[in-house]
Chains A and B, each alone.
Chain A
Amino acid sequence: MPDNIYLPELARVVHIKEEVAGERSIKTFRIEPVNGEAFAHECGQCAMLSIFGRGEMMISIASSPLIKEYKQFSIMRVGRVSAAFHELQVGDVIGIRGPYGNSFPVDDWRGKNLFFIGGGCGLAPIWPVITTAVAQRDYFKKITVFYGGRSPRDIMYRAELEKLRGDVDLQLSVDKTEDGWNGYCGFVPANVMDKAPSADNAIAITCGPPIMIKFVIQNLHQLGFADEHIFTTIENKMKCGLGKCGRCNVGKDYVCTKGPVYSWAQLKGLPEEY
Chain B
Amino acid sequence: MINIQDMRDTARDLLTKNEVRAVIGYRRSSSGMNAEPVVITTPEQADELVWDPTCFHNLSLYLVEDRKFLAHTRNNPGRPIAIVAKGCDARAIVVLMQEHYFKREEVYIIGMSCEGSGVLVERKLAANGIQATNASFDGDDYVFTTAQGEKRLPAREIMADRCLECRIPYPREHNVVLGEDKTGRELAEPFAALKRFEERDAGERWIFWERQFDRCIRCFACRSVCPMCYCEECVVDSISFPVNAQTTAEEKANRVRWIERSAVRSENITYHLTRAMHLAGRCIDCNECERVCPVNIPLRLLNNKMEREAREQFGYEPGASIGAPALVASFLDNDPEKFIR
Contacts and interface: CB of A to CB of B under 8 A. Distances in A.
Direct contact of A and B (CB under 8 A): yes
Nearest to B239: A80
A24 B246 CA distance: 11
Nearest to A23: B248
Nearest to B250: A83
Interface string B228-268: 00000000000100010000111011010000000000000
B248 A84 contact: no
Interface in A54-93: 77-80, 82-84, 86
A23 B245 CA distance: 12
| Most chain A Cβ neighbours within 10 Å, of B243, B249, B250, B252 | B249
A23 B248 CA distance: 8
A1 to B, nearest CB: 27
In this complex, which of A23, A77, A80, A86 has the most chain B Cβ atoms within 10 angstroms of its Cβ?
A80
Contacts of A79: 243, 249, 252-253
Contact of A24 (B239, B249, B253): B249
A23 B255 CA distance: 18
Contacts of B239: 80
A78 B239 CA distance: 13
A140 B255 CA distance: 49
Contacts of B255: 80
Contacts of A86: 249
A82 B243 CA distance: 15
A80 B248 contact: no
B258 to A, nearest CB: 15
Interface residues of B, number: 8
Nearest to A81: B253
Interface residues of A, number: 10
A83 B252 CA distance: 9
A78, A82, A84 interface centre (most CB from chain B within 10 Å): A78
Nearest to A55: B239
Nearest to B255: A80
A86 B243 CA distance: 20
Interface centre among B239, B250, B253, B255 (most CB of A within 10 A): B253
A138 to B, nearest CB: 43
A38 B255 CA distance: 34
A78 B250 CA distance: 8
A79 B239 CA distance: 10
A82 B253 CA distance: 9
Contacts of B250: 83
A234 B249 CA distance: 22
A175 B243 CA distance: 26
Contacts of A80: 239, 252-253, 255
A24 B243 CA distance: 15
Interface string A137-166: 000000000000000000000000000000
A77 B255 CA distance: 15
Interface in A1-47: 23-24
A113 to B, nearest CB: 36
A77 B248 CA distance: 9
A86 B249 CA distance: 11
A83 B239 CA distance: 14
Interface centre among B243, B248, B255 (most CB of A within 10 A): B248
A79 B240 CA distance: 9
A68 to B, nearest CB: 32
Contacts of A84: 253
B256 to A, nearest CB: 12
B257 to A, nearest CB: 10
Contacts of B249: 23-24, 77-79, 82-83, 86
A83 B248 CA distance: 10
Contacts of B248: 23
A79 B255 CA distance: 11
Interface string A77-117: 11110111010000000000000000000000000000000
Nearest to A25: B249
B212 to A, nearest CB: 29
Contacts of B252: 78-80, 83
Nearest to A54: B253
Nearest to A78: B249
B311 to A, nearest CB: 43
A78 B252 CA distance: 8
Contacts of A78: 249, 252
B267 to A, nearest CB: 17
B108 to A, nearest CB: 37
A86 B250 CA distance: 11
A79 B243 CA distance: 10
B107 to A, nearest CB: 35
Interface in A198-224: none
Nearest to A76: B249
A23 B249 CA distance: 8
Nearest to A79: B252
A186 B70 CA distance: 36
Contacts of A83: 249-250, 252-253
8 contacts: A78-B249, A79-B249, A79-B252, A80-B239, A80-B252, A80-B253, A83-B252, A86-B249
Given A79-B249, A80-B255, 9 more contacts: A23-B248, A23-B249, A78-B249, A79-B243, A79-B252, A80-B253, A82-B249, A83-B249, A83-B252
Interface of A: 23-24, 77-80, 82-84, 86
| 7 tightest Cβ-Cβ pairs between the two chains A and B | A83-B253, A83-B249, A77-B249, A79-B252, A80-B253, A80-B252, A78-B249
